[in-house]
């Protein structure tokens, strides 16, 4: 089956989503759940999305089962994907009717902070106001504006970037590295609130209609708490030492933020490898896998990690 990534449909039930032609399977990623996979070689196209309206979209599998060429898509699926067009809509780009209906619904502007203090500005449609930040793996986040539509909110997003320097993207590798040794929770909360306040001030003075400034904090899922903070007792963490490019992998989830897990590793004897590991499950996207009872094949020199 082909991994389509980690989905947060609700705070209590994140899953690893797998698809095969005519079939879809979700593997629960709740606290204490065990994930075992054998990863097959290669990186494959995930297909494309057709957007029909605010809450209606269709996923179309790659007809040729092609290798991925652009991210997790082949060239043909990338060209057919409606979602790629949304980022230029506010600059006058043309979009299909279904995507236009999606973009013309209310949207939210948010400021999100990650475990090393890096902070970004981003947008979310009204139905995905909470889910978008859960999937991003934010440690702290604040909503700073509500816009009438997706065009207005993206204009605001670009203004925040140009005037205040907040980036619009944080790389997955940086999120993973930051969670090995996250900054203190109180410090990250203060960083986020400070950036959010700086964004609200100029937004409040804009001679522009179609939005309102808001002051609301995002509610982080409880499953992410252990990963996003360091407790009073020592929490020895290591980056997961194996790539998801082949072989067997097994882990037991302790905490999950976005697509990144804090996990222990079961061993072949039924015990556990010493230490906790930061595992980027997002790097499984586009991989073909065989679920089952598998353990992580650690490098021979694993002692160098500790």
Greater model confidence, 93 or 116: 116
**Largest CA-CA distance found in the chain, in angstroms, rounded:** 66
| Helix/strand/coil for 163 | helix
Average the pLDDT over 64-84 and give the result.
Answer: 92
- pTM of the full structure: 0.92
Residue 202 lies in a domain: yes
| Confidence label for 301 from pLDDT (cuts 50, 70 and 90) | very low
C-alpha span between 190 and 217 (Å, rounded): 12
Q: Which residue has the tokens 């957007």?
A: 51
Average the pLDDT over 180-195 and give the result.
Answer: 96
Residue 85 lies in a domain: no
| Owning domain of residue 214 | 105-220
Beta bridge partners of 277: 238, 263
In this predicted structure, the answer to whether residue 1 has a pLDDT above a threshold of 70 is yes
Residue 117 lies in a domain: yes
Residue 16 lies in a domain: no
Predicted confidence at residue 127, as pLDDT, reads: 94
| Confidence label for 234 from pLDDT (cuts 50, 70 and 90) | low
Beta bridge partners of 39: 247, 289
Q: What percent of the chain has pLDDT over 70?
A: 95
Lowest mean pLDDT, pick from 61-70, 126-135, 156-165, 228-237: 228-237
Lowest mean pLDDT, pick from 53-67, 152-166, 200-214: 53-67
Residue 275 lies in a domain: no
Contact 285, 19 (CB under 8 A): no
In this predicted structure, the answer to whether residue 59 has a pLDDT above a threshold of 50 is yes
- Exposure string of 167-197, with b = 16+ CB inside 10 Å and e = fewer, is eeebebeebbebbeebbeeeebeebbbebbe
Task: State how many domains the chain has.
Answer: 1
Predicted confidence at residue 33, as pLDDT, reads: 95
Query: What would the pLDDT profile of 243-299 be if each residue is shown by its tens digit?
Result: 999 999 999 999 999 999 999 999 877 788 888 999 999 999 999 999 999 999 887
Predicted confidence at residue 189, as pLDDT, reads: 97
Average the pLDDT over 41-55 and give the result.
Answer: 92
Lowest mean pLDDT, pick from 9-13, 138-142, 173-177: 9-13
In this predicted structure, the answer to whether residue 53 has a pLDDT above a threshold of 90 is no
Average the pLDDT over 59-72 and give the result.
Answer: 92
| Confidence label for 99 from pLDDT (cuts 50, 70 and 90) | confident
C-alpha span between 268 and 296 (Å, rounded): 9
Residue 207 lies in a domain: yes
C-alpha span between 18 and 267 (Å, rounded): 25
| Confidence label for 100 from pLDDT (cuts 50, 70 and 90) | confident
Residue 8 lies in a domain: no
In this predicted structure, the answer to whether residue 98 has a pLDDT above a threshold of 90 is no
Predicted confidence at residue 231, as pLDDT, reads: 60
Q: Which residue has the tokens 């990650």?
A: 114
């Amino acid at each position: 089956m082909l991994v389509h990534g980690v989905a947060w449909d609700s705070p209590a039930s994140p899953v690893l989503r797998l698809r095969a032609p005519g079939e879809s399977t979700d593997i629960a990623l709740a606290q204490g759940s065990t994930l075992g996979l054998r990863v097959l070689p290669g990186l494959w196209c995930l297909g494309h999305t057709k957007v029909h309206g605010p809450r209606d979209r269709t996923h179309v599998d790659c007809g040729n089962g092609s290798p991925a060429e652009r991210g997790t898509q082949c060239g043909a699926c990338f060209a057919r994907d409606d979602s790629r067009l949304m980022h230029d809509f506010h600059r006058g780009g043309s979009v299909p009717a279904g995507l236009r209906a999606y973009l013309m619904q209310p949207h939210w502007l948010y400021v999100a902070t990650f475990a090393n203090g890096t902070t970004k500005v981003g947008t979310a449609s009204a139905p995905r106001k909470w889910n978008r930040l859960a999937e991003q793996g934010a440690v702290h986040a604040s909503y700073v504006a509500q816009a009438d539509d997706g065009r207005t909110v993206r204009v605001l997003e670009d203004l925040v970037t140009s005037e205040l320097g907040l980036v619009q993207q944080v790389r997955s590798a940086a999120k993973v590295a930051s969670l090995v040794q996250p900054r203190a929770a109180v410090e990250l909360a203060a960083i986020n609130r400070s950036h959010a306040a700086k964004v609200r001030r100029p937004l409040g003075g804009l001679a522009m209609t179609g939005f309102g400034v808001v002051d609301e904090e995002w509610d982080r899922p409880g499953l992410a708490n252990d990963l996003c903070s360091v407790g009073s007792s020592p929490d020895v963490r290591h980056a997961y030492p194996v790539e998801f490019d082949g072989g067997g992998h097994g882990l037991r989830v302790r905490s999950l933020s976005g697509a990144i897990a804090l996990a222990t590793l079961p061993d072949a004897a039924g015990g556990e490898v010493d230490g906790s590991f930061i595992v980027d499950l997002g790097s499984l996207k586009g991989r073909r896998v065989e679920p089952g009872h598998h353990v992580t094949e650690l490098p021979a020199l694993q002692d160098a990690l500790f």
